[in-house]
Amino acid sequence: MASGLERRDPALVRVENHGVAVWTDPSLLDAAGVLVAFTERGGGVSCGPHASLNLADHVGDDPRAVDENRHRLLESVGLGYGSVRLVMAEQVHGDRVVTIDAGEYALGSPVPGCDALVTREPDVALLMCFADCVPVVLVWPGDGEGGSRPAVSVVHAGWRGALAGLPGIAVRALCESAERSPAHLRAYVGPHIRACHYVVDESIMSHFVRTFGTFARAESGGLDLGAVVSASLTDAGVDPCCIARLGTCTFEATDRFFSYRAEEGLTGRHGALACVLSP
């Protein structure tokens, strides 16, 4: 692992530039040259229910506003719209992971039929969009100077993906790409709906309890997607101490994040971003 990272557990801090706020891990950027970011909803140009930093182009927002919002996001985290290749996914609530190699896919052409992306390519920014589902960013920080270069993954875990174990599947795909074990993998879990606001059909809850255990059902009676995602990660070999959680409930924080349930389906999407920077 890159020098210095082994002495720190991952942590997320809020950073704001040009009115755009993200939650990121500066120590990861400094030591390994890897950017991770979970966006808030402010600082963009979208209007109405999509206000303001909506990053999704499938929710009825003005495409020009979405493009400007993505531009503002990349500029705010120091990437620059023309300096990286932005790659997104179709996000179909499945369990398919796609590894992005050099020259594959580009802005405007989402990777079809998948809900997790993996890459080791420098200056390829992986971006997925969320409004209650669980955003997960996985990072293999590399072996330091002259060693294995970093690898990153962004995962979209709704209830279907979580039930299928998608976070763990992505861990294994990333480790295969990096040719390393998950022992020193770092995982970041962004804002998502909490169990007290996430009531699901009893048939769905029964599937989760049978698959993961009774902890999937919170004391409130709702589905604890965060606990399920954490279990999927640790079952795949991620050290629990290497999982950083933002802990914010999107349903309760619509002033900062989008929530499909709280806003009755008419809303924008915040994002989860990961990029290995060029040396």
Q: What is the pLDDT of residues 47-69, one digit of tens each?
A: 999 999 999 999 999 999 999 99
Summarize the confidence of residues 98-127 as an average pLDDT: 87
Mean pLDDT in the chain?
94
Question: What are φ and ψ of residue 240, in 5° steps?
Answer: -55, -30
For residue 82, what pLDDT is reported?
77
With a pLDDT cut of 90, the percent of the chain lying above it is 87
pLDDT band at 81 (very low <50, low <70, confident <90, very high): confident
pLDDT band at 87 (very low <50, low <70, confident <90, very high): very high
**Which residues have a Cβ under 8 Å from the Cβ of 80 and sit 6 or more positions away?**
74
Report d(CA 251, CA 193) in Å as an integer.
6
Report d(CA 77, CA 35) in Å as an integer.
8
Residue with the larger pLDDT of the pair 43 and 178 = 43
Q: What is the pLDDT of residues 94-107, one digit of tens each?
A: 999 999 987 666 55
Summarize the confidence of residues 249-262 as an average pLDDT: 98
Q: Token pair for residue 14?
A: 């809020």
For residue 6, what pLDDT is reported?
57
Report d(CA 14, CA 80) in Å as an integer.
20
Q: What is the pLDDT of residues 196-206, one digit of tens each?
A: 999 999 999 99
86, pLDDT greater than 70: yes
Q: What is the pLDDT of residues 150-175, one digit of tens each?
A: 999 999 999 999 999 999 999 999 99
9, pLDDT greater than 90: no
The H-assigned helical ranges of the chain are 26-32, 63-76, 159-163, 166-178, 202-212, 225-235
Q: Token pair for residue 161?
A: 């993906």
Q: How far is CA 17 from CA 32, 134, 148, in A?
A: 22, 24, 31
DSSP conformation class of 182: G
Summarize the confidence of residues 112-140 as an average pLDDT: 97
User: Which element (helix H / strand E) includes 20?
Assistant: strand 20-24
The strand pair at 134-140 and 151-157 is best described as antiparallel
Summarize the confidence of residues 123-141 as an average pLDDT: 97
pLDDT band at 5 (very low <50, low <70, confident <90, very high): low
Q: How far is CA 265 from CA 60, 103, 115, 196, 258, in A?
A: 11, 35, 20, 18, 10
pLDDT band at 83 (very low <50, low <70, confident <90, very high): confident
2, pLDDT greater than 60: no
